[in-house]
């Protein structure tokens, strides 16, 4: 599991920030992952488990736009998607 630095996130804010759509390019090190039943239609829980932070669910949607047309309802058990590895995710997040 990949963990991001805790100081990256400000948990004291009670509002959403402006939407910043980020490109998530394909890399040779992407990992093919089969969505587990426990994460059926719960990309937030999968992001928490895989990346350590639930608000990174959008990374799945941006990296797999051809598979996850709807980022929640298409996030179904048995669906194969690609995951970013640690360095690629850091690059997308600008770390």
Q: For residue 71, with 0-12 CB atoms within 10 Å meaning exposed, 13-18 middle and 19 or more buried, which class applies?
A: middle
Task: Say which residue, 48 or 95, is predicted with more confidence.
Answer: 48
- Phi, psi (rounded to 5 degrees) for 2: -95, 130
Residue 1 neighbours by CB distance under 10 Å:
8
pLDDT of residue 19 exceeding 50, the answer is yes
pLDDT of residue 68 exceeding 50, the answer is yes
Cβ pair 24, 84 in contact under 8 A: yes
Question: Residue 59: pLDDT band by 50, 70, 90 thresholds?
Answer: very high
Q: What is the predicted pLDDT for the residue at 67? A: 95
Distance (Å, whole) CA 79 – CA 76: 6
Q: What is the largest CA-CA distance in the chain?
A: 38
Q: What is the predicted pLDDT for the residue at 7? A: 47
Task: Say which residue, 84 or 14, is predicted with more confidence.
Answer: 84
- In this structure, the chain runs to a length of 95
Distance (Å, whole) CA 21 – CA 29: 22
pLDDT of residue 23 exceeding 50, the answer is yes
Mean pLDDT of the chain: 83
């Amino acid at each position: 599991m990949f963990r991001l630095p805790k100081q990256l996130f400000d948990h004291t804010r009670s509002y959403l920030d402006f939407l910043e759509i980020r490109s998530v390019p394909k890399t040779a090190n992407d990992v093919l992952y089969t969505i587990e039943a426990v994460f059926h239609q719960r990309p937030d829980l999968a992001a928490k488990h895989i990346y350590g932070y639930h608000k990174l669910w959008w990374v799945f949607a941006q990296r797999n736009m051809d598979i996850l047309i709807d980022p929640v309802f298409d996030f179904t058990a048995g669906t194969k998607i690609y995951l970013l590895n640690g360095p690629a995710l850091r690059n997308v997040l600008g770390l």
